[in-house]
Structure formats: structure tokens, C-alpha cells
Structure 1
């Protein structure tokens, strides 16, 4: 699900977990899990953006995320260890946009501001996609 939406609402979560009896505590826990998923994602983005700078990449356009990239392998291993799911191309696009945002912010020394990542989060939260309906079927439960 994280491959489609990094910021699912509680209603989205309820739609895709029909076997769960939701209450305030369970909803809160699922939202916290997604927060942890995002935290790992953003940590990897910052790490790889800083590595691009160390490697001497001077143009953001030279930074790409493909299925062969080390960043994709790290994310896929974390979110899709058994390779049960095909990672949508849109996730690669969003990952590349995220990496570009981190690279640009760090290159411009915006990381000296304690709240520098908030601007990136605002961009990325708008890039969520709809989760395919097939995730609602019993084969995904």
C-alpha cells in the first residue's frame, strides 16, 4: 500500500483492511505504522541525496531512480522483502521527485533550518495515488 500512498487517511485504511475491527487505538496504530514507513523512506532519501553530493553530482537532472538503482533496492527490500508485489512505476517517479527535493534542499543549504524537511513533505503528500481495488480482494488479505 505504501507504494501508492505515503499519507493514507483513516478512511482509506478502513477500506483496505475490512477484516480489522477498527477503534481509536487500532486506527492510531495503523497511522503510526505509516508514519514509521515514511520515516524510513525519508531517511533513505536524505542519505542518498547526501551521497549524490559527496559523489560530485552537480545537476539534479542527473539523479534518477530506476529498478536497478541502489535506492530502489533498499526501499523494495524494506517494504517488499519477499517481492510479493510489483512496485508500480509511479512509486519510482515519486521516489525520484523526493530524491530531487532532498538534493535541491541540501545543495541550497536549507538543511541548516530545523524545519527544512516540512517543505518537502508538503510536495510529496500531494503525489499519493489511489490504491488499486485489487488490494481489497480476499487474495490480498
Structure 2
């Protein structure tokens, strides 16, 4: 059991973020079973996820505003590919060293969240 969080824990948390924006403390304890949890560790993980959400939603809002400016009126008109700016920004932030190959399931997760921002 580790007393603190490592850079690898941060990478794991960043990847985990795409599948759960608000993890419960039980979920965190399950996914970070090698860490000895205390108030400080839990607070750090909560802070990480808060920061992840802030960056993510800023990027989604920028993408949606640009899409609206470009005349997009529905999500059917949106296409998020590995070449688009939103994907590059998210990948650079959450997977900076490209330690992990982003699975095909990430693009639908991102696109599924983009539609809520078109109603801005």
C-alpha cells in the first residue's frame, strides 16, 4: 500500500475521468486499491476530478460555440474525429505523453457530451 499518489495514479485518474465524471469514494477505493486512503488522499483525488471537469467543460463549450458560429444546429451535423481540434486538445491534456492508445469508444463519449452544449 502506498501512502501517497504518484504520477501514474494521475494518469489513471485522467483516463478514468472519461467514463465517470463524479466517482464515488467507494469507486475511487476500488480503482486505486494500491493506495492507503485517508482524508488527504481522498481530497486530492476529488480535486483532480474537479480540475478535470473544469478543463473538459471549458473545451466542450469552446467546441460548441465554434460549431454554432459555423452554423451547426443539431448534433447530427457534428463529427468528432481524431483529427479535430477538440480531440487533440483533450488528448493532449489527458494523455500528454500518449502513454495510452485512445480506444474507439472515446469518440462517442465525447460526441455524446457535445450535444448538451449546442443549446447554449
Normalising by structure 2, what TM-score? 0.79
Quote the residue 1:39 is aligned against. 54
Out of 79, 87, 92, the position equivalent to 1:77 is 92
The residue aligned with 2:102 is 87
SS at match of 2:68: helix
Unpaired segments of 5 or more residues in structure 1? 107-141
Change (3 A) 1:11 1:83: same
Matched residue pairs, number?
105
Which deviations, in whole Å up to 9, do the C-alpha atoms of 1:13-64 show, x marking residues without a partner?
A: 1122223211122112201211110111111000110011111223321112
CA–CA distance in structure 2, aligned partners of residues 10 and 83 of structure 1: 28
Is the contact made by 1:3 and 1:87 (CA closer than 8 Å) also made in structure 2?
no
Alpha-carbon shift at residue 76 of structure 1 (Å): 0.4
C-alpha contact 1:3 1:88 (8 A) present in aligned 2:
no
**Alignment correspondent of 2:30:** 15
CA shift in 2, pair 1:89/1:5, >3 Å: farther
Flag as ranges the 4+ runs of structure 1 deviating above 4 A: none
For CA contacts below 8 A with separation 6 or more, give which structure has more relative contact order: 1
> What TM-score comes out, normalization by structure 1 length?
0.68
Q: CA RMSD in A?
A: 1.4
In structure 2, the partner of 1:57 is 72
Structure 1 residue 67, shift from structure 2 partner: 1.6
